[in-house]
Amino acid sequence: MSKISIAIITPSLGNGGAERVSSLVSVFLTDLGYDVTLFAAYPNKDFNFKGNYVYLGHSKNIFMPFFSLFSSFKMLYKSIKSRDFDFVVDFRSRRIFWIELMFHFFIYSNVKNSILTIHLPLLNKYIPKPWFLFQRFYKRAYALVSVSDAISAKLNKLGYANEVVIKNAVDFEIIDIEREKPIEIDEPFVLAVGRLDDNIKRFNHVIKAYAKSKLLAEGVRLVLLGEGVIKPQLQKLSRTLNCEHMVSFLGFKQNPFNYFANAQFFILASEFEGFPMVLIESLACGTPVISYDCPTGPSEIIQHENNGLLVENGNIAALSAAISRMHTDKKLYALCKENARKSVAHLSFENIKDQWRQLIESVIP
């Protein structure tokens, strides 16, 4: 019997949560013995992956992006058509009507089974309008894989009987190696991580909450990992709030796990999420978490006052109080730290890999 062949389509292999998940999926599908080919639109390669790799040649910096996009699509089409793939697993956001029509007629039609992943609760990022047309297309897909129970509930309401929940995985083996590597910080700190490309992660809330908390006066630093265009705005905010001497912008780190492991706790203030990797990776490193109770994911990960704290979404004062409480309430902190790692044990590489195996092999005779 020939190997099951799988094409993974991803924006890139760097810089984001969905991209990190696509790289992890490539690893465990390859480990399961499948023939995996990754097709990446952009050249970023920050995350470990396995399988064949094809860069489709697209770039954000190119002079004529439409022609670059068309060239990338043509390359993908020729590659897909030349291979008899058993599955395509698509990690892209899918918002633009004409692009998704092209994918349905020229890409998905050339593979036996299509699996479309959904990583955020904003379904219009994954099901373009007109919904009545694309709902018909998507209901023909082999599976819609969502990363949280809340996203799954939304899909069920829309009548998608082919939806499946497979949550994001943590690779404890890699984490346990990487977390031991040294970092340049030798003082107490709390941590926030993410792209600084827009305000969705709301790092401005993190800085404001930190500035109002007890941590500033007690010498606990705030460390931000990530790069992006709003970094100067955030640096200006820290100066305005007179905390710039205690806020460190350390840029993107290919290995964030040693920072997770050494932080007192992790802070997430996103407007929305899917099933945030940063929360489960922090907990896997044994570090408690504080997060806004935003849609979706945090409430499915954080057991309030057991492995972290959930805070009313968008409430900066409540976030600041939670930061102070996690720092000063030693009994609460010890309990959350003790429970952190075991609270995400069910998301182990092996468990999630087996769920993907079951999904793939359920259609193989």
Average pLDDT, the chain: 92
Tell me how far apart the alpha carbons of residues 269 and 21 are, in angstroms, rounded to a whole number. Answer: 21
- Is 182 in the same domain as 101? no
Tell me how far apart the alpha carbons of residues 89 and 4 are, in angstroms, rounded to a whole number. Answer: 13
Task: State the DSSP H helix or E strand holding residue 172, giving kind and residue range, or none if neither.
Answer: helix 172-178
CATH number for the domain that contains residue 210: 3.40.50.2000
- Is 157 in the same domain as 226? no
- Is 20 in the same domain as 130? yes
Q: What is the mean pLDDT of residues 197-211?
A: 94
List C-alpha distances in Å: 173 to 18, 86, 177, 193.
21, 30, 7, 21
Q: Tally Cβ neighbours within 10 Å of residue 255.
A: 15
Among 141, 261, 293, residue whose Cα is nearest residue 193: 261
Please tell me the predicted confidence (pLDDT) of residue 365: 44
- Is 12 in the same domain as 152? yes
Tell me how far apart the alpha carbons of residues 82 and 75 are, in angstroms, rounded to a whole number. Answer: 11
- Is 211 in the same domain as 322? yes
Contacts by residues 64-70 (CB-CB < 8 Å, ≥ 24 positions apart) = 69/99
- Is 21 in the same domain as 142? yes
Q: Which pTM value belongs to this model?
A: 0.89
- Is 180 in the same domain as 92? no
Tell me how far apart the alpha carbons of residues 17 and 197 are, in angstroms, rounded to a whole number. Answer: 13
How do residues 2-58 score in pLDDT, each as one tens digit? 789 999 999 998 877 788 899 999 998 999 999 999 999 988 888 889 999 999 987
Structural domains in the chain (count): 2
Query: Does residue 130 have a cis bond before it (omega within 30 degrees)?
Result: yes
Tell me how far apart the alpha carbons of residues 338 and 266 are, in angstroms, rounded to a whole number. Answer: 15
- Is 197 in the same domain as 127? no
How do residues 287-304 score in pLDDT, each as one tens digit? 999 999 999 999 999 999
- Is 341 in the same domain as 354? no
- Is 100 in the same domain as 134? yes
Q: What is the mean pLDDT of residues 252-268?
A: 95
- Is 18 in the same domain as 143? yes
How do residues 53-70 score in pLDDT, each as one tens digit? 999 987 766 655 666 778
pLDDT > 70: percent of the chain:
97
Instruction: Using CB atoms within 10 Å of the CB of residue 21, give its burial: 0 to 12 exposed, 13 to 18 middle, 19+ buried.
Output: buried
Residue pointed to by tokens 């949550």:
167
Backbone phi and psi for residue 65, each to the nearest 5 degrees, phi listed first? -60, -30
- Is 306 in the same domain as 258? yes
Among 183, 200, 204, residue whose Cα is nearest residue 253: 183
pLDDT > 90: percent of the chain:
75
What range does the domain containing 81 cover? 5-169+348-361
Among 8, 78, 76, residue whose Cα is nearest residue 37: 8
Among 98, 86, 100, 88, residue whose Cα is nearest residue 135: 100
